[in-house]
């Protein structure tokens, strides 16, 4: 099987899984316990936290373990807004965020906060000019994703940070779930807070972090026993945290070499899709993230192509795993003004650490073959 | 830019008359100790300053990072060298001054090589004029320049320096004898150690360990704190006293409101015995007046009565917040606040006497034979030397 849906989730690295198992066996003490086992667990947890802090350029106390990307993003929204509501009630985000941001924004809007959405151009990128116009003195949170999960557009984070920090006291949150390990993103590159999800970087599902710059303060979202410096209650899943730290280290260490590979494959696919002319429309921008290629197939439902590829042992997805089960067109595709005839036939190919040159060659061959078989019947 | 050497100013040390030689020797040894993990330093000492060769850029970096922690150094400067030729001197001065923005400066010249063809004033005028015509952002202030640019014409070469980096001040550790620190594991005692070391006192530490009432964790914490204290330029030996027997006996024999006073008295007796054995001059504590019941003037007097050895209390007049600030600065705070029971907290009575009557305390103590137990505790103490040479095998490394 050739797995090309790494933006939906990744396979856990063997060595990461091994760490997870070993921690569960050897260091299962509750890190909050005062007996030796607890102390040891806590020391290990601190080591994991410190390792992650070093990878994102902050202090260990500013790294909070969560249950994953959705919690991290919800937490960032709620935490920043509740800690800063005395400064204002205005929030800015973009029209193409992941639903866990958009739904959080909606909920806060219902509570009476004012939310502005930045639109994107045909490449899926926000306009810095629009951001400049929308940032106000009473803006308390700006949240912009680094890389779009459905088509790989890269947002200008550094420049956005400059504008936000020059014109407001707002906290700048960046959803780095799709970009971490594929593009450099740390807390010295502009953001005040970033979210990262474990299962997108070959760690376990149910793990994530929220990492903050020093001096950034947020309110707790989950309350209880006061774990994670009082910011995220609940017994910390030490095995998950350790696995996350290891996977994060590996993905950052391997980034130069893996990204070079992804770029090569991406170019190969761009070339392949160009050979189909009008029939295939590449939605991902040329300047996009190295690991995501989204294309629209004229007059063909995405689902049909996915099934056909699957029969040949190749796994890809429609625009995103979250929206792929809903029948309506995704909000991202809508925001991009994609021509009607391509809208229903969007598929996303996303690379991961385990892919090989052969995988990509095989995909090209099968895709070409299928396009010839399928087109007559399904093109309207 | 690559500098040739670092010039170290002794500051307070220079005023110490005939002991100076010992002080300089001590400082040089302490600097060597701080760099003992690296290749030996090339150090040259003079009457009122010391020079360390920078050798490589990495070495220069290490020196600039570590020197500010070593007591006995008032300040230091990076020194560049040039050939004894005005053209070469100007070029180096240009590179140095290019690092500054809008500042006032002054050229100071010292010419120990009297054969140099220009005299002090000529050099000053020539170099000053050159810099002024090359940098718009410089102006001269001979009284209080922000950047004193110093040029020394020595036998071998010309030496040029500008920036002054502040040192830790104080006196070299060991230049003022040795004392025994009572180290509980709280916030105060490491700060007391720091302040005493700053005044040149070499420290050994004593800790009272009462298993199972206090845990291995609290002992580990004390060891960690000792290790942190070694970064101020000296080895530290830690004496761990098995204290359970004495402590439980006190609880049985002395009324509750006086038990704390007696406990402290016994600790001080033990400490004094150890002090004698290790040839230390005084006993250092982290006591701060009025902080807790045992630290009122009445309590201290009753406790202190067991010995005539000087008990040094560098924190006596400090507020808790002032102590915390120093603890944070020297990096012991985070370790100190780990929440483990220590021997001071575990048997604390609900209402300890803040004005214990000495006669009463002595009366109750006289009914129990403590001296043998004290000797036994001193005899059975464990000793560790810090910093620890061998690192514990890292069992977490493979997991991460």
Interface of B with A in 65-124 (CB under 8 A): none
Residue A199 CA, chain-centre distance (Å), reads: 10
Q: Dihedral of CA B301/B302/B305/B309: which sign?
A: negative
**Hey, is the C-beta of B345 within 8 angstroms of any chain A C-beta?**
no
Structure tokens at A100: 């866990």
Percentage of residues in chain A with pLDDT exceeding 90?
A: 86
Q: With residue B260 as reference, give the H or E element that holds it.
A: helix B256-278
Q: Is the pLDDT of residue A377 over 60?
A: no
Residue A380's pLDDT is 43
- DSSP codes of every residue in B147-197: EEEEEEE-SS-EEEE---EEEEESB-TTTT-EEEEE--SSSHHHHHHHHHH
Nearest to B399 among A23, A34, A36 (CB): A23
Does the distance separating the beta carbons of A22 and B399 come in below 8 Å?
A: yes
Q: Where are the beta strands (DSSP E) in chain B?
A: 5-9, 43-45, 49-53, 73-82, 103-111, 138-140, 147-153, 158-161, 165-169, 178-182, 202-209, 236-242, 282-284, 311-312, 382-386
Q: Is the bond into A97 cis (omega within 30 degrees of 0)? A: no
Residue A132's pLDDT is 97
Q: Which residues in chain B touch residue A22, judged by CB atoms under 8 angstroms apart?
A: 399
Does the distance separating the beta carbons of B215 and A34 come in below 8 Å?
A: yes
Nearest to A246 among B216, B340, B399 (CB): B399
Distance in angstroms (rounded) separating the CA atoms of residues A130 and A118: 7
Q: Which residues in chain A touch residue B215, judged by CB atoms under 8 angstroms apart?
A: 34
Instruction: Kindly state the average pLDDT of the residues A28-49.
Output: 93
Of B318, B258, B261, B260, nearest to B287 by C-alpha is B318
Residue A20's pLDDT is 97
Distance in angstroms (rounded) separating the CA atoms of residues B222 and B207: 8
Of B200, B204, B197, B282, nearest to B238 by C-alpha is B204
Of A206, A193, A198, A195, nearest to A234 by C-alpha is A206
Q: Which residues in chain B touch residue A44, judged by CB atoms under 8 angstroms apart?
A: 396, 399
Distance in angstroms (rounded) separating the CA atoms of residues A193 and A231: 14
Return the exposure string of B374-397: e unless at least 16 CB atoms fall within 10 Å of the residue's CB, then b.
beebbeebeebebeeeeeeeeebe
Q: Is the pLDDT of residue A138 over 70?
A: yes
Going from the C-alpha of A270 to that of each of A7, A149, A205, A255, A263, the distances in angstroms are: 18, 18, 31, 22, 10
Q: How far apart are the first and last CA of chain A?
A: 31
Residue B233's pLDDT is 75
Distance in angstroms (rounded) separating the CA atoms of residues B184 and B109: 53
Structure tokens at A373: 């078989």
Q: With residue A315 as reference, give the H or E element that holds it.
A: strand A314-315
Does the distance separating the beta carbons of B340 and A48 come in below 8 Å?
A: no
Does the distance separating the beta carbons of B400 and A36 come in below 8 Å?
A: no
Give the model confidence (pLDDT) of B260-306 as tens digits: 999 999 999 999 999 999 999 999 999 999 888 888 999 999 999 99
Nearest CA in chain A to B395: A44
CA gyration radius, chain B: 27
Structure tokens at B393: 């095998």
Q: Where are the beta strands (DSSP E) in A54-112?
A: 63-66, 90-94
Distance in angstroms (rounded) separating the CA atoms of residues B32 and B26: 10
Of B263, B259, B233, B276, nearest to B350 by C-alpha is B259
Active site residue A100: no
List beta partners, residue B385.
Answer: B237
- DSSP codes of every residue in B67-122: GGGSTTEEEEEEEEEE-SSHHHHHHHHHHHHTT--SEEEEEEEEE--TTSSS-HHH
Residue A218's pLDDT is 96
Going from the C-alpha of A321 to that of each of A70, A98, A217, A371, the distances in angstroms are: 14, 11, 32, 23
Structure tokens at A179: 């970009």
Of A2, A89, A20, nearest to A237 by C-alpha is A20
Q: Which residues in chain A touch residue B339, judged by CB atoms under 8 angstroms apart?
A: 34
**Hey, is the C-beta of A14 within 8 angstroms of any chain B C-beta?**
no
Q: Which residues in chain B touch residue A242, judged by CB atoms under 8 angstroms apart?
A: 399-400
Going residue by residue through chain B, which has 400 residues, state the pLDDT in tens, using 9 for 90 and above.
568 899 998 867 656 666 788 888 889 998 988 888 788 889 998 877 899 998 888 888 889 988 998 999 999 999 998 999 999 999 999 999 988 889 999 999 999 888 999 999 999 999 999 999 999 999 999 899 988 899 999 888 899 998 888 999 999 998 889 999 999 989 999 999 999 999 999 999 999 999 888 888 889 899 999 999 988 878 899 999 999 999 999 989 999 889 999 999 999 999 999 999 999 999 999 999 988 888 899 999 999 999 999 999 999 999 999 999 999 999 999 899 887 766 556 677 778 888 888 999 999 999 899 999 999 999 999 999 988 765 556 788 889 9
Phi and psi, residue A187, nearest 5°: -80, 0
Distance in angstroms (rounded) separating the CA atoms of residues A43 and B392: 14
Kindly state the DSSP code that residue A209 receives in the 8-state scheme: E
Contact status, residue A195 vs residue A208, Cβ threshold 8 Å: yes
Structure tokens at A159: 């420049």
Does the distance separating the beta carbons of B396 and A39 come in below 8 Å?
A: no
Query: Which of A17, A46, A219, A322 is labelled catalytic?
Result: A322
Q: With residue B228 as reference, give the H or E element that holds it.
A: helix B216-229
Nearest CA in chain B to A246: B400
Give the model confidence (pLDDT) of A262-311 as tens digits: 999 999 999 999 999 999 999 999 999 999 999 999 888 888 889 999 99
Distance in angstroms (rounded) separating the CA atoms of residues B76 and A76: 46
**Hey, is the C-beta of A19 within 8 angstroms of any chain B C-beta?**
yes
Instruction: Kindly state the average pLDDT of the residues A259-263.
Output: 97
Residue B57's pLDDT is 85
Instruction: Kindly state the average pLDDT of the residues A72-92.
Output: 96
Kindly state the DSSP code that residue A222 receives in the 8-state scheme: B
Burial class (CB in 10 A: 0-12, 13-18, 19+), A284: buried
Give the model confidence (pLDDT) of B294-325 as tens digits: 889 999 999 999 999 999 999 999 999 999 99
| ipTM of the complex model | 0.82
A 10 A CB-CB count for B13 gives 23
**pTM of structure:** 0.70
């Amino acid at each position: 099987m050739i797995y090309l849906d790494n933006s939906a989730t990744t396979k856990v690295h063997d060595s990461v899984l091994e760490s997870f198992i070993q921690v569960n066996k050897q260091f299962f003490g509750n890190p909050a316990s005062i007996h030796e086992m607890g102390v040891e667990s806590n020391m290990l947890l601190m080591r994991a936290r410190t390792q992650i802090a070093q990878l994102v350029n902050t202090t260990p106390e500013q790294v909070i373990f969560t249950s994953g990307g959705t919690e991290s993003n919800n937490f960032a929204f709620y935490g920043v807004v509740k800690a800063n509501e005395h400064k204002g009630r205005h929030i800015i985000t973009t029209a193409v965020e992941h639903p866990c941001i958009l739904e959080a924004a909606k909920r806060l809007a219902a509570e009476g906060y004012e939310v502005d959405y930045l639109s994107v151009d045909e490449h899926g990128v926000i306009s810095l000019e629009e951001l400049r116009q929308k940032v106000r003195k009473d803006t308390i949170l700006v949240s912009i994703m680094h890389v779009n999960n459905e088509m790989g557009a890269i947002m200008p984070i550094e420049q956005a940070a400059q504008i936000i920090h020059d014109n407001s006291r707002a906290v700048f949150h960046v959803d780095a779930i799709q970009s971490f390990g594929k593009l450099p993103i740390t807390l010295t590159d502009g953001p005040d807070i970033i979210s990262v999800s474990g299962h997108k970087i070959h760690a376990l599902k149910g793990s994530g972090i929220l990492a903050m710059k020093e001096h950034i303060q947020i309110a707790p979202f989950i309350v209880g026993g006061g774990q994670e410096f009082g910011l995220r209650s609940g017994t910390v899943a030490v095995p998950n945290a350790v696995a996350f730290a290891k996977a994060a280290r590996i993905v950052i260490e391997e980034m130069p070499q893996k990204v070079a590979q992804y770029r090569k494959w991406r170019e190969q696919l761009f070339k392949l899709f160009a050979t189909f002319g009008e029939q295939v429309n590449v939605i991902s921008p040329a300047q996009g993230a190295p690991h995501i290629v989204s294309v629209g197939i004229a007059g063909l439902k995405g689902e049909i192509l996915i099934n056909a590829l699957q029969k040949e042992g190749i796994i890809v997805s429609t625009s995103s795993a979250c929206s792929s089960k809903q029948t309506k067109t995704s909000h991202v595709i809508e925001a991009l003004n994609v021509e009607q005839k391509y809208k229903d036939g969007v598929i996303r190919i996303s690379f991961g650490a385990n892919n090989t040159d052969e995988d990509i060659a095989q995909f090209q061959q099968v895709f070409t073959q299928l396009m010839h078989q399928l087109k007559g019947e399904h093109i309207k | 830019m690559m500098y040739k050497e670092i010039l170290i100013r002794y500051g307070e040390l220079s005023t110490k008359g005939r002991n100076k030689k010992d002080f300089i020797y001590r400082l040089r040894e302490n600097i060597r100790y701080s760099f003992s993990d690296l290749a030996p330093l090339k150090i040259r000492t003079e009457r009122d300053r010391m020079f360390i060769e920078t050798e490589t850029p990495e070495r220069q970096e290490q020196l600039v990072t570590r020197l500010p922690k070593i007591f006995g150094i008032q300040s230091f400067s990076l020194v560049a060298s040039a050939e004894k030729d005005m053209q070469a001197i100007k070029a180096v001065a240009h590179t140095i001054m290019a690092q500054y923005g809008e500042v006032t400066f002054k050229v100071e010249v010292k010419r120990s090589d009297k054969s140099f063809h220009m005299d002090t004033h000529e050099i000053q005028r020539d170099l000053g004029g050159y810099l002024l015509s090359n940098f718009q952002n410089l102006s001269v202030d001979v009284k209080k320049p922000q950047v004193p640019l110093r040029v020394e014409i020595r036998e071998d070469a010309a030496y040029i320096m500008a920036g002054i980096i502040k040192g830790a001040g104080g006196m070299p550790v060991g230049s003022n004898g040795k004392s025994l620190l009572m180290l509980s594991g709280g916030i105060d005692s490491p700060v007391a150690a720091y302040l005493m070391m700053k005044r040149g006192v070499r420290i050994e530490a004593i800790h009272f360990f009462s298993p199972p009432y206090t845990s291995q964790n609290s002992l580990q914490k004390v060891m960690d704190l000792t290790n942190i204290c070694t970064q101020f330029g000296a080895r530290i030996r830690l004496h761990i006293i098995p204290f359970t027997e004495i402590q439980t006996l006190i609880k049985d024999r002395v009324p509750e409101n006086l038990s704390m006073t007696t406990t402290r008295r016994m600790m001080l007796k033990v400490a004094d015995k150890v002090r004698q054995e290790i040839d230390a001059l005084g006993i250092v504590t982290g006591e701060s007046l009025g902080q807790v019941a045992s630290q009122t003037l009445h309590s201290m007097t009753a406790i202190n009565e067991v010995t005539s050895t000087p008990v040094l209390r560098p924190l006596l007049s400090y507020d808790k917040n002032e102590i915390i600030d120093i603890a944070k600065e020297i990096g012991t705070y985070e370790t100190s606040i780990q929440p483990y029971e220590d021997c001071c907290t575990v048997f604390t009575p609900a209402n300890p006497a803040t004005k214990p009557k000495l006669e009463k305390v002595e009366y109750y103590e006289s009914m129990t034979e403590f001296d043998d137990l004290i000797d036994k505790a001193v005899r059975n103490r464990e000793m560790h030397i810090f910093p620890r040479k061998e690192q514990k095998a890292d069992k977490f490394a493979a997991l991460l």
